[in-house]
Every structure is written in C-alpha cells, then in structure tokens.
Amino acid sequence: MHERLGATMTDFAGWRMPLRYSSERTEHLAVRHAAGLFDLSHMGEIMVTGPDAGAALDYALIGHLSPMATGRARYTMICAEDGGVLDDLVVYRTAEQEFMVIANAANTGTVFGQLSVRAGKYDAAVRDATAEYALIAIQGPAAVPVLAQVTGNSLDLNAMKYYAGAFGEVAGQRAWVARTGYTGEDGFEVFCDPADAAAVWEALEEFGAAAGLVAAGLAARDTLRLEAGMPLYGNELGPDVTPFEANLGRVVKFDKPGDFVGREALAVRAAAGPRRRLSGFTVGSRRIPRHGYAVLAGGQPCGAVTSGAPSPTLGVPIAMAYVDVSVSEADPEFAIDIRGEAVPATVTDLPFYRRSK
C-alpha cells in the first residue's frame, strides 16, 4: 500500500515504516485542516487479562487503572524503581477483565518483560499481542465524517468521548476503534486484524479523498506532536527523566491504594521539586534547533533541546528543551547554540498549538 502511494520508507525500531509520501509539510497541514491517514502498526499491543488485571496494572504502572470503566482509556507511564520513565503508555479497558497496553515500538520488549514480572503475584496473564494487530489512525477535523462512512451503524462516533473506545465494524471488519491520537487533533485509532488492514486503509482512503484526506508518514506525525507539546520517548522521556521534569506529575497517582513500582522515589522527587523543567521555545530565524543543541541563558549553557523542527502551522522553528530550574523563564537572554551561533529564542507556553473545540 505504501509503495503504491510512493512512500519514502525508513527503518524504525525494527520495522519498515513510511517516513513521508509527498511533502511532510503538506501532510502536516492536511491533518490540521482536513485529515491524515497513518500506519502505526509498529506500536506494541500487550494484553493484561484475568481477575486481578486491574490490580496488577495499579502496581506495575504509576496510574490508577483498576477503577477505569470498560471502554475508556488512560495515558500513563511505567517507571523504574528510581522513578525514571521506562515508557509512556496508553491503556484501554476492552472488557471487565481485559486491558490493552499500548507501548512505543522500541520499548515493547521492555514493557512486556516488566509487566510480566510485576504481574507475577497477581491472578493476571500478560501476553504480547503486537503481531495480532495492525493499527491505522485517522486524525484531523474531518475524521468523524470520513470514518462514519465506513463504520455504518456499528458505532456512534459523535457520541464517543475523547479517550474512549469500542468494538465495531470498519469497512466490514471487526476492530477496536478509539478516540485517541498523537497529533493534537480530533481523531481515531483503529486496531484491526493484520489481514484486514489493507481493506480498512483502502476504504478510508476512498471515502476520505473528497474531504482532503491524505496519507501521512512518521515525519508529519513528529511535527504534529511537537506542535501539540506531546513528549516523545527517547527525546523528552527516558530512564533519566521522571514525570515531574516532563510537566506530567499529574499522571502519578499517589492517592491510589497499595504500593506501586517507583512510588518512594517519585514521592521524594515530588517533595523536592524537579531539577529541570520542560520548556517551549520559538526561534526568530530560519535556523532549526535540533535534539541535543545547547540552550543558553546570558550566554551560558542552561539546558538542551530535546525536539526541534520548523512549525508548518506557526511558520517559525519551534523546540522543546529541558532547562535548569535555577534559570528564570523571564530571562530575556535565551538563545540556542545552532552550530556555533547563538540564535535568540523566546520561551513559549506549551503546547505551541491547541485545536479549536
């Protein structure tokens, strides 16, 4: 399918994935104004099932998953004992005793291994089901009317809440359809049998053409999530970062009953406060801040860029960076060292872009 559409393919976490089909700017703007179609089949799907599935996830993850209603989803993380982030996750409750944990492709093995160990004392089974699912996302303001044409009466998409999901039919094939995404736009993610993926993709492509839907690759997905201020594992998140540095302390649920892995270390970090903070910057030139470039305050290094790119929506380069908390964000002398040149940069509230609802 991707080759037919002229995709430039790239190796990513052991998968061959479409990087772009035409222009990543065109694909990016299509998602902002119409709709984009993404193949996300590289993401990991891990099933946790059994009478104690919710309790096992409460212990294994920093979120409180057991009270979640069937058909709902939650963003959470799996942390090490020292509080470092091993991966950020979306967890769906697909049945009373069944949860589907979505892991980043490069971390699927780690997440599966850790969940298997941490669930060991519970009446719960952990299974890597990645090979059982293809994942196709449709994102953008036209997502509802386009997807509705291929779901028939099996789902009420307008009534589906954000971070909710349900089983239905897409292009005549059974699928789990969730109102989730990683672009900052409204949209849905369709989990289907790999054997049905081509039919689902073609149907969405056909019915979406009139609405301006285009196929979109990993490059556009990255600039979309950056504009939306969404973290990427390996950039904003990693084993040397706790949720508090990433401005995501809200996902750590200290009020849930019982212990969870990383609780003690995270409590210490919450009490002490983060040593660095994730900040947004815009750059007043065409030069692009990239991952690892130094952030300067008063000419002195005070942090590093984690993600940077031209913003098709804003028309200027943008970046997220970790900055030492000792540096005031009111300092007017911020700059980013771009290949030896201190390029002036302005602190900007995250997210850079927020869709109209």
- Tens digits of residue pLDDT in 162-189: 999 999 999 999 999 999 999 999 999 9
Instruction: Give the residue from 180, 177, 133 showing the smallest Cα distance to 152.
Output: 177
User: Cis link prior to 312 (omega < 30° from 0)?
Assistant: no
pLDDT at 302 over 80: yes
How much is the pLDDT for 284? Answer: 86
Question: What is the average pLDDT across 242-250?
Answer: 97
Question: What is the average pLDDT across 53-60?
Answer: 98
Q: What percent of the chain has pLDDT over 70?
A: 99
DSSP states of 250-283: GG--TTSSS--TTHHHHHHHHHH--SEEEEEEEE
DSSP states of 130-157: GGG-EEEEEESTTHHHHHHHHHTTS--T
Question: What is the average pLDDT across 132-137?
Answer: 98
Q: What percent of the chain has pLDDT over 90?
A: 97
How much is the pLDDT for 331? Answer: 59
pLDDT at 357 over 90: no
pLDDT digit string, tens, across residues 100-127: 999 999 999 999 999 999 999 999 999 9
Domains of the chain from N-terminus onward: 8-41+133-227 (3.30.1360.120), 44-131 (3.30.70.1400), 275-348 (2.40.30.110)
pLDDT at 332 over 90: no
pLDDT at 330 over 90: no
Question: What is the average pLDDT across 240-247?
Answer: 97
Question: What is the average pLDDT across 66-83?
Answer: 98
In the sheet that holds 187-192, the strands lie side by side as 165-170, 173-178, 187-192, 134-139, 35-39, 213-215
Pairing relationship of beta strands 35-39 and 213-215 according to DSSP bridges: parallel
